[in-house]
Amino acid sequence: MKVLVTGGAGFIGSHVVDRLIADGHEVVVVDDLSTGKRGNLNPAARFHEMDIQNPALAEVFEQERPEVVDHHAAQMDVRRAVEDPIFDARVNVLGLLNVLENSVRSRVRKVIFISSGGAVYGEPERLPADENHPIRPITPYGITKYTGEKYVYFYKVVHKLDYTVLRYANVYGPRQDPHGEAGVIAIFIGMLGRGETPTVLRYADGEMQRDYVYVGDVVEANVAALTRGSGTEINIGTGRGTTVSDLLEAVQHTMGTQVEPRYGLARPGEIRQTYLAIERAERALGWHPRTNLEQGLWHTAEWLRQRSA
């Protein structure tokens, strides 16, 4: 089938593109390269360098006529969203609406919308957080991602545009952007590789805990969502939390280093603990994570070593 991937030069989107092409699909990429990298682009994909807010996006849809849109393009920096919520809303809400309007005009069959299980639930009242957990985002990023979920639902009801929402946990792996929520992995590997001392942030009553899911597993969820999970919001994670100290210990084991970290105070407003229930992903997509943290860290470190070399 023909799939248009927005954000297809980014960390996660580019891995999705590679897999779709390997599976024999025809792939079109739309990316403005603001955070995506030209070096991530698969040469077998047709590339349109464009912001998803651009009115000229209509010409791309008219020309390409995709069957499915996999919407990864987003403003994904939580801290920037707090500092500039207007910019966050322009990209994550108005940009999405431009994609959805053109999807309807071009008779796209389905949109896969990438949301955030790490942001829409806010500070969870129960763990692991399942898809029926109360939605209480505490950042503009979480607010715009949940707003996006409501818009894709509207377009299904009114315009019969099918969708699947994938609520990602903290995705990590090769090509990782160190500025994202899971970017701490790339930061730790980079610092340890340079002989620097990493910092572990803590709260007064304990440590941050996150759900780290490997990008290769996330790709498999996107492939499954091409034909499954219609009209459903689905968590994509591992079902378990990892503290920052445990993460650093695992990274050090992978790197073969032993460095005593510095400790600092977490920033106010950041979620303390979150990890996702993934039973719905098994039922709706036939998906479960296959890569454990040790394996994923090895692949990530190896990629960073090769890039440095």
Pairing between β-strand 26-31 and β-strand 2-6 as defined by DSSP bridges:
parallel
Residue 174, SS3 per DSSP: coil
CB atoms within 10 A of CB 264: 10
C-alpha span between 223 and 239 (Å, rounded)? 20
Confirm if 218 and 17 have CB atoms less than 8 A apart.
no
C-alpha span between 257 and 216 (Å, rounded)? 26
- DSSP secondary-structure letter at 212? E
127: amino acid identity, one letter: L
Catalytic residue list contains 141: yes
Residue spans of alpha helices (H) in the chain: 11-22, 57-64, 78-83, 85-89, 95-105, 140-159, 184-193, 215-225, 244-255, 279-285, 293-308
Confirm if 147 and 93 have CB atoms less than 8 A apart.
yes
Angle of helix 293-308 relative to helix 244-255, nearest 10 degrees, comes to 60
Tokens of 18: 């590679």
The catalytic residue among 141, 146, 151, 214 is 141
- DSSP secondary-structure letter at 77? -
Tokens of 176: 């990782």
C-alpha span between 235 and 117 (Å, rounded)? 6
- DSSP secondary-structure letter at 129? B
177: nearest Cα among 90, 75, 52:
75
Catalytic positions: 141
